[in-house]
Amino acid sequence: MAMQIGKLVTDWYAAHGRHMPWREGQDPYRIWVSEVIMQQTRIEQGEGYFYRFVDRFPDLASLAAAEQDEVLKYWEGLGYYSRARNLHAAARQLVETHGGQFPSHHEALLTLKGVGPYTARAIASFAFGQQVGVLDGNVLRVMSRLLNDFSPVNRPQTRRKFQHLIDGWVAGQDSRSFNYGMMDIGATICTPTQPGCLICPLEAVCQGRKAGSVQLLPQKDQKLKRKVRYFNFYLILNEKGEVAIRQRPTDGFWGGLWEIPNEETKRKAWEKKESEGGGRFLFELKHVFTHFDMMINTFMLSAGAAPAFEEVQFISTDKIAIFAFSKAVLNIFENAWQNMD
């Protein structure tokens, strides 16, 4: 069974696999960068960021030598900025302690900053041909249906079980072709809705297809209700028309990015558009994080009337592009300038 699945997948990939720039060659650096970018990012969106990032930082040495602010600037708009900070830290770690070379085994790769089981196995398989299975969301869906397994795929024990199985399936196969093939089958055929079972290379061995339960799988435990947090953001302008900005601490959301002064508030005050800092209310925005929703009220006020915020500096608006901001703050700037036109 395992050998049959492995051959079906690798044969299909040879004929139908997707072309992607990071699949050309086996450069562990480009593979690593691509895998980190594509976490929480659609391929269509991420491909442009990949080209932009590796054009500026073409290798480990250039990334390690860069300042964190510049790395964050090239990550701007992708979100989940801890990924960029960890990339930068791991690049320096590799240069300082590994002679600028990637370890070839997935367990050694796990010692790098920000590299988890998925990324470690992806680099080990795609760059070094190590025979380990790579589990992403697409592969979990394929396996759930293939095995007719109703275990919730967001449970650690299910992932451990599937990891053990896929490690057996890849044995004896070309690791890159098998893992890329499983991902591509999930992305293009065994899709969340309206899967193309009739053209799937695994149809003949798919237990979910035989049981008629493909549309019911995969199963997931229900997530807890999302938390909502409320913030007032202040667009503070001085007499020169310069805007106040400050840099966030490296921990927490938007770590290391620049922002405009803000403060968290209570829902009732937020809904009344009340602000301790005063100022003229401009608009509200919503920004979605992985674990909570941020509701933003934006106020404009002059520097003389603004409350005291620590470590603020004023910059001219034409300098905004130099600094790395979150997408939420960039949206505030865009909406504010439109309101002022």
Q: Which domain holds residue 309?
A: 227-340
Tell me, yes or no, whether 221 lies in a domain: no
Q: Kindly report, residue by residue over 68-84, the tens digit of the pLDDT.
A: 999 999 999 898 899 99
Q: Which of 36, 217, 188 is nearest to 118 (CA)?
A: 36
Domain match, 276 and 160 both: no
Q: 3-class SS at 171?
A: coil
Query: Which is catalytic among the residues 24, 35, 107, 239?
Result: 35
Query: Domain boundary at 194, 216, 238, which?
Result: 216
Domain match, 41 and 14 both: yes
Q: Kindly report, residue by residue over 267-280, the tens digit of the pLDDT.
A: 998 898 877 777 88
CATH code assigned at 235: 3.90.79.10
Is there a cis peptide before residue 152, judged by omega within 30 degrees of 0?
no
Computed over every residue of the chain, the mean pLDDT equals 94
Tell me, yes or no, whether 222 lies in a domain: no
Residue 205 near residue 282, CB atoms below 8 Å: no
Half-sphere exposure of 200 (CA within 13 A, CB side): 28
Residue 221 near residue 320, CB atoms below 8 Å: no
Domain match, 36 and 169 both: yes
Domain match, 204 and 94 both: yes
Domain match, 83 and 189 both: yes
Is the pLDDT at 29 greater than 90? The verdict is: yes
| For range 99-123, the mean pLDDT | 96
Tell me, yes or no, whether 18 lies in a domain: yes
CATH code assigned at 156: 1.10.340.30
Domain match, 211 and 235 both: no
Would you give the distance in Å from CA 121 to the centre of its chain?
17
Q: Kindly report, residue by residue over 168-187, the tens digit of the pLDDT.
A: 999 999 999 999 999 999 99
- CA distances to 9, 29, 120, 148, 226 from 82, rounded to whole Å, are 34, 18, 17, 36, 21
How many domains does the chain contain in total? 2
* 102-116, 267-281, 310-324: least confidently modelled range: 267-281
* The model's pTM: 0.84
Please tell me the predicted confidence (pLDDT) of residue 225. Answer: 84
Domain match, 194 and 233 both: no
d(CA 139, CA 117) in angstroms, rounded, equals 14
Domain match, 59 and 206 both: yes
Q: Kindly report, residue by residue over 119-153, the tens digit of the pLDDT.
A: 999 999 999 999 999 999 999 999 999 999 999 99
Tell me, yes or no, whether 63 lies in a domain: yes
Query: Domain boundary at 186, 216, 246, which?
Result: 216
Residue 311 is among the residues annotated as catalytic for this protein: no
Residue 141 near residue 217, CB atoms below 8 Å: yes
CB neighbour list of residue 232: distance below 8 Å, 6 or more residues apart: 262, 263, 265, 270, 275, 276, 277, 296, 297, 298, 299
